């Protein structure tokens, strides 16, 4: 007898499989202002979130809200154009629901992108940082509650949340493309407020290089499900700053748009070597 969650996942997966017959190998979740990768995908099927049973609906500007299926550089992919965030009022379980659907669809590798603020003074707006590790203490763990053993173990090991082999391949791709990628620690916060100066200092002292409002819950659910994870942050603003400028979501979207070509090229080339 399937539990409530498993039953929902089965119903969602059955619906998607009824309208798309192929098996995706890689899942991609695109962050704020980072949707142009879609133009590189040979799209075979597009499904609005509202058509998918049990799926939440994205409410944030810069997130279009649809599932895309197709081929990216020879690899069958399942793409979330628009993610869900805890700050929108979704539970952590709702935030990671699409990741679990991806796993049930056959996805073995998850590629994540996000817009993030830098707390590392060496980073500049427009830089890309490959996430090698994360700090999740400031967010709610999506695995809290009854564990569904068929999805993953009760106590998953998080010593390598982001796949080292994929990180190495990404750096090699960067060299070929002539791009430099930083490698660092992503700190997740709930949002939706941008951080105070004191919070930025705390994050820096704790070892974070960038800070954002997404990604970590998805990565935890993916690791729990046995998927390989690769994630990149686009630096869209500088957190620790001497002047009195403020951060707006519009500026974040604009900075992300400027950095998009690099991210698109990276994900396109990485898809071929997963």
* Higher pLDDT among residues 272 and 62, named by residue: 272
* Dihedrals phi, psi of 75, to nearest 5 degrees: -110, 130
Q: What is the pLDDT of residue 1?
A: 40
Residues 6+ apart with CB under 8 A from 83: 29, 30, 31, 58, 63, 95, 98, 214, 218
**pLDDT score, position 169:** 98
CATH fold for the domain made of 4-271: Rossmann fold (3.40.50)
Residue with tokens 């796993």: 103
**pLDDT tens per residue, range 4-20:** 999 999 999 999 999 99
Please write the tens of the pLDDT for every residue from 95-151.
999 999 999 999 999 999 998 999 999 998 889 999 999 999 999 999 999 999 999
Tokens representing residue 15 in the block: 């619906």
**pTM > 0.85: yes or no:** yes
Q: Hey, CA dihedral for 14, 19, 25, 29, is it positive or negative?
A: negative
Position with higher pLDDT, 53 vs 247: 53
* Tokens standing for residue 243: 């002047």
- pLDDT greater than 50 at residue 82: yes
- For 20-43, the pLDDT digits (tens) are 999 999 999 988 767 788 899 999
Query: Residue 61 above 70 pLDDT?
Result: no
In the predicted model, what is the mean pLDDT of residues 192-209?
A: 93
What is the mean predicted confidence (pLDDT) over 48-70? 82
Both tokens of residue 7? 């039953």
Mean pLDDT of the chain: 91
pLDDT, tens digit, for every residue of 224-270? Answer: 999 999 999 999 888 766 666 677 778 777 777 778 889 999 999 99
Taking residues 66-76, what's their average pLDDT? 96
């Amino acid at each position: 007898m399937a539990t409530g969650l498993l039953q929902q996942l089965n119903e969602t997966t059955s619906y998607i499989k009824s309208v798309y017959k192929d098996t995706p190998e890689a899942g991609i979740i695109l962050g704020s202002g980072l949707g142009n990768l879609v133009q590189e995908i040979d799209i075979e099927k597009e499904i609005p979130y509202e058509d998918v049973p049990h799926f939440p609906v994205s409410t944030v500007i810069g997130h279009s809200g649809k599932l895309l299926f197709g081929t990216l550089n020879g690899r069958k992919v399942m793409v979330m154009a628009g993610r869900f965030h805890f700050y929108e009022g979704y539970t952590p379980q709702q935030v990671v629901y699409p990741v679990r659907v991806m796993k049930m669809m056959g996805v073995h590798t998850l590629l994540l992108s996000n817009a993030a603020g830098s707390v590392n003074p060496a980073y500049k707006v427009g830089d890309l940082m490959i996430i090698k590790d994360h700090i999740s203490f400031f967010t709610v763990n999506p695995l809290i509650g009854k564990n569904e053993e068929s999805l993953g173990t009760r106590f998953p090991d998080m010593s390598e949340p982001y796949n080292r082999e994929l990180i190495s391949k990404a750096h090699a791709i960067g060299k070929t493309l002539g791009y430099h990628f930083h490698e660092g620690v992503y700190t997740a916060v709930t949002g939706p407020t941008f951080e105070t100066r004191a919070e930025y200092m705390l994050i820096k002292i704790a070892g974070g290089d960038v800070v954002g409002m997404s990604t970590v819950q998805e990565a935890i659910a993916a690791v729990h499900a046995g998927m390989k994870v690769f994630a990149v942050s686009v630096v869209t603003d500088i957190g620790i700053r001497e002047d009195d400028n403020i951060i707006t979501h519009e500026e974040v979207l604009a900075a992300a748009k400027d950095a998009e070509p690099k991210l698109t090229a990276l994900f396109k080339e990485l898809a071929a070597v997963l």
